[in-house]
Amino acid sequence: MIFDKDGTTTIVFQENIALTKFLENLKGAYSKIKNDNIIVNLFSFSELTSGDVLEFLQLSETHRSAGKSFVLVTNRVGYDEVPENIIVVPTLQEARDLVEMEEIERDLDL
């Protein structure tokens, strides 16, 4: 598992591992990054379904309820294929932009 910290945001990605193992590792490392906004880069997973994305739902809800952003990045599953309470975007730039917008909203108490 690779962590790329940029300010208050950590981008998490992994190469050559099964999704279930990646999620298990992410949950194990969560305590180290729980105070950051989290972007999870899923581009290394060539076969990804909306069901796979839903595996991140509990972690996403936990993190977002703590007042931090949690964004999944993949172009294999569209935002319209998953519930509104999990954020999916197709590019890392969109994920960074979304985190920035959410931080502004939190700062303004919106």
Dist. CA 58–CA 20, nearest whole Å: 14
pLDDT digit string (tens) for 20-65? 999 999 999 999 999 999 999 999 898 899 999 999 999 999 999 9
Tell me the CA distances in angstroms from 42 to 47, 76, 99, 109, one per residue in order.
Answer: 10, 9, 17, 30
Q: Which residues of 74-99 are buried (b: 16+ CB within 10 A; e: fewer)?
A: bebbeeeebeeebbbbeebeebbebb
pLDDT interval class at 14 (50, 70, 90): confident
